[in-house]
Amino acid sequence: MRICVIGLGYIGLPTALLLSEHHDVFGCDINSELVEKVNQKCIPFCENGLEERLRTSSIKAFTHPVEADAFLICVPTPFDREVRMADLRYVESAVESIVPYLKTGNLVVIESTISPGACEKVVCPILQKSGLRVGKDIFLSHCPERAIPGKTFDEMINNDRIVGGFDQKSTELTERLYRSFVKGNIYKTSIRTAEFVKLMENTYRDVNIALANELAILAEEAGVNVWEAIDLANKHPRVNIHAPGPGVGGHCIAIDPWFLTESTANAKIIEMAREINDNMPSYILHKARRIFEMHNITNPVVTILGVAYKGNIDDTRETPALKLIKLCAKEGWKVKLSDPYVSRFEYPLLSLEDATRDSDLIIIETDHTYYCSLDAARLAELMRNRIVIDTKNILDKSEFKENGFEIHTLGGNISGTKNVLSKSGFQADDFEIRALRGDIIEK
């Protein structure tokens, strides 16, 4: 089969490479620099397995579509914050671009995340400008991706997929296409249900993280270590609370829940979860401010480690670090940044040593594995004040304590642990509880 993939980003390029192992695949992207990199076998972004698969692939990329038997739309769907709606302009533009190339029997698959009803109300009318009827002459499905950066290929191959077709034949054609590389189950449903399911999945995760973040705040007020409490609560067979953190980023969880709210007034929990997670950078700012007041630190220098939205990737889309950076700068604090994965960001990035030299506070914002083994002794030599807010609970607390550091986390600390929830009983005398400030600090 001859396939044209529109959009060669974090989802489109891996999908195209997997399909190219079984089909003749052509990529299309309006970014000429990205197209050139693909054709030269140079990876445009970091992803495990991407370099090898691109090097051995026969894929060819263009800045325009080409004739094909199937077209996959894998472009981003931004969030219009002003009106709190999905911005479908890239999807619309991508679909418009393939209209001149459509012919009878073609299959069009929308992988981009879209609002419920968008395929029928937005995509179909554009496709039918070709003079071909959807469900009669050409076929349309929605098949949302289920993959996370860092594990994209593994998840695309092994995860279950949802296929929602405009009609039965659309569904069957799409299932046959994806079965060429998907080893997981493929579940068939209606096109609108598939749109809704994708949004449900990311909304569930957003709400769960919001619950964890609120529990972390309440735990600090109550003098309870939330990391141990979550660990113990999750031993219940029907409880699975996620870990708290500095906010939610990425192109999915931070955006997709809003797509369910755009035409209703009945999404109270979803809206509240978004508000909680979006406000976590402000909570961390207040935490830092209390620390500076406690230690009488004026004109502080703050080091933020990690600007990627999650660990071990270079993706900064919707990163909560950006809001924290701007909030700290608004306080008049000097802010220095470092990230071992990210090479391009809207603020300057420094080496770890340059970012921590003469710093008063380190904020661990991203759970890169690199940060799990930071040299506490060297940081103690570099910093002016030895204070850390570990928002991801990944540091070896005992090593940092030995080097005179004061460690703060969201919801308390676990002495000597690294990004694992406690397996032993909580010892109240391990902590000094500052009830007035709502902090739990290791003695």
Q: At what angle do helices 320-330 and 280-294 cross, to 10 degrees?
A: 40
Alpha carbon distances (Å) from 210 to 54, 244, 427: 37, 8, 27
Q: Can you say how many angstroms the Cα of residue 390 is from the centroid of all Cα atoms in its chain? A: 19
Nearest to 321 by CA among 384, 368, 257: 368
Nearest to 194 by CA among 168, 170, 162: 162
Catalytic residue among 37, 198, 392, 397: 198
Q: Which residue has the tokens 């076998």?
A: 41
Give catalytic status of residue 372 as yes or no: no
Give catalytic status of residue 198 as yes or no: yes
**What is the C-alpha to C-alpha distance for residues 153 and 78, in angstroms, rounded to an integer?**
23
Q: Which residues contact 400 (CB under 8 A, 6 or more apart)?
A: 376, 388, 407
Give yes or no for a contact between 407 and 363, defined as CB atoms under 8 angstroms apart. no
Give yes or no for a contact between 336 and 359, defined as CB atoms under 8 angstroms apart. yes
Give yes or no for a contact between 409 and 389, defined as CB atoms under 8 angstroms apart. yes
**What is the C-alpha to C-alpha distance for residues 138 and 47, in angstroms, rounded to an integer?**
34
Catalytic residue among 4, 28, 46, 252: 252
Q: What are residue 190's DSSP bridge partners? A: 165
3-state secondary structure 9-37: CCCHHHHHHHHHCCCEEEEECCCHHHHHH
**What is the C-alpha to C-alpha distance for residues 384 and 180, in angstroms, rounded to an integer?**
57
Alpha carbon distances (Å) from 188 to 73, 109, 174, 241: 19, 14, 10, 29
CB count, 10 Å around CB of 131? Answer: 8
Residues acting as catalytic residues: 198, 252
